[in-house]
Amino acid sequence: MKAIILAGGYGKRLYPLTQEIPKPLIKIKGKPIIQWQIEWLKKYSVDELVILAGYLKEKIISELGSGQKLGVKIGYAVEDEPLGTGGAIRNAFHLLDDLFIVLNGDVITNLNPLRLIEELRNSDKLCAIALIPLRVPYGVVELNGKNVKVFREKPLLKGYYMNAGIYAMRKEIENYLPLKGDVEKTTFTKLAEEGKILGVLYEEVQWNSIDSIKDIEEVEKILEDDQKAINVKGNKS
């Protein structure tokens, strides 16, 4: 199974960190984001990757090389000018199989990507998209009349889901991909109109998108807490 990682963006919201290094190489607990992703994919036996590189592409290629040191095979599809997510995927089609996984290069998660492949394979759709519960980005206050009843810190918004930035696609999707532009604004809209896109719900998973310094701090705290929990469990065994 192959996966492609969208790693060509400028990461403007993380400037000045991204002034000299591309966003996928920003380190989380001493390890680049893209390495976290590769190690996560390996756990699901996804060990053939295509990196879609653009901005500061030489640094990504230098860091990852052939993928041998991480136990995977890595190829590259390089864009000489910004193509958007749709154009970047289309640019890599000569390297892909009939079914493949796509993920944004700024996501750290533990969800099972093979569920997307399974759901897509058992359907007549062209794309399966991972969906996670929408979390309100702010604290919420509930009132009883004018009295404050309770404070809820970043609660989940029941019944609403958000795009997790991880997809499974069939190669037949090519005609829906723009030469330039983002799949979120072009391809997915058209597929939804034609009933050719599948939503796969992941209710209880870890998922974070790295868009700001605050996100880096939050993810590092989550990973640190996870490791402590593993250590405690191991000591009790």
Q: Point out the residues that are catalytic.
A: 154
Residues 187 and 178 sit within 8 Å (Cβ to Cβ): yes
Q: Smallest Cα–Cα separation from 49: which of 23, 18, 70?
A: 70
What whole-number distance in Å separates Cα of residue 198 and Cα of residue 80? Answer: 32
Residues 122 and 137 sit within 8 Å (Cβ to Cβ): no
CA torsion sign, 74 to 132 to 231 to 30?
positive
What whole-number distance in Å separates Cα of residue 24 and Cα of residue 60? Answer: 8
What whole-number distance in Å separates Cα of residue 231 and Cα of residue 93? Answer: 43
Residues 193 and 177 sit within 8 Å (Cβ to Cβ): no
Residues 46 and 99 sit within 8 Å (Cβ to Cβ): no
Query: Strand 107-109 and strand 207-209: pairing?
Result: antiparallel
Residues 60 and 16 sit within 8 Å (Cβ to Cβ): no
What number of CA atoms fall less than 13 Å from residue 91's CA on the CB side?
A: 26
- 136: which DSSP letter? P
Quote the crossing angle between the two packed helices 57-64 and 33-43, to the nearest 10°: 50
